[in-house]
Amino acid sequence: MYKIGEFSKITSLTIKALRYYEEQEILCPSERDKNGYRLYNDQDYERARLIALLRGLDFSIMEIRDVISNYGGEEDLSYFLKEKQAQILERIAGEKALLKKLEESLPGGSAAGIIRQEYDIVIKEIEEMIVVSTRFRGAYSDVGKYIGSLYKAAGNKSFGCPFSLYYDEEYREDADVELCVPVKGMVQASGISCRKLPGCRTISTIHKGGYDELGFAYKALLDAAYERNLQPVSPSREIYRKGPGLIFRGNPSNYVTELMIPVREMDIPTQEQKG
């Protein structure tokens, strides 16, 4: 058995670190003597070596606790290390992508001073249509997860382009989204809704490019609506005229999305109402 000072020396862990690991319940002394002093054995030594290795590889305390609770030997350790390696590679890829964006945004970069497309604004009357749809809460990028199941449910009755209805007035990380596929007649399928989508009057424009710049198109629509004394209402609609495939995303610069916001005449107070 080793006293805490001796154990500190043979493990190259400070007494402060040993006490901290004990607080975190990842390295507790196996025994205490009659005076309450900590005593460590060879099993504690092996665990300390494992903790030192993991800390040197930038494992967090929470990760170390998870490893230790599921550790059964060297074979298990190799799985944990491979998982950590994959996480680091994913983080590096994200950092590289961020560096690329920073470089493009610097003066002279490809994204610096970029000329935004001009949007042609059109008032459109949308007719009633039948759609198969699924409604969910999640990220905007989650839309692609559901498109395959909708087309499978629609079968040979599908026609036209898929589109999303967005029921939130603001940007949200857990958006209220309904993904729709137009169909020729009613369809029955488990877990899929089939309904008549009422017609409405909309203000519309076409956006060419990636979805990360759709905000510019929405701004153009809202500005145009207020200039025309039109009140925007929910849900807005994004029609995917040309977008990513079911497997490959393709070049986002070639995406074509039609944006529509339902509108109604804005109530303008009369002189008597103002008075």
- pLDDT tens for 5-44 read 999 999 989 999 999 999 998 999 999 988 889 999 999 9
Range with lowest mean pLDDT among 127-141, 157-171, 228-242, 257-271: 257-271
Could you give the percent of the chain with pLDDT greater than 90? 65
Contact indicator for 51, 21 with CB cutoff of 8 Å: yes
- Note the pTM of the prediction, 2 decimals: 0.62
At 213, is the pLDDT very low, low, confident or very high (cuts 50, 70, 90)?
A: confident
Q: Distance between CA 58 and CA 81 in Å, rounded? A: 11
User: pLDDT value at position 250?
Assistant: 78
Per-residue pLDDT, averaged over 202-229, amounts to 93
Kindly give, in sequence order, each residue whose CB lies less than 8 Å from that of residue 257, ignoring residues fewer than 6 positions away: 206, 207, 211, 214, 217, 238, 239, 240, 241, 243
Q: Is the pLDDT of residue 82 over 60?
A: yes
| Strands of the sheet with 38-40, listed across from one edge | 2-3, 38-40, 31-32
Q: Is the pLDDT of residue 274 over 60?
A: no
At 112, is the pLDDT very low, low, confident or very high (cuts 50, 70, 90)?
A: low
Give the DSSP H or E segment for 7. helix 4-11
Per-residue pLDDT, averaged over 40-67, amounts to 92
Q: Is the pLDDT of residue 200 over 90?
A: yes
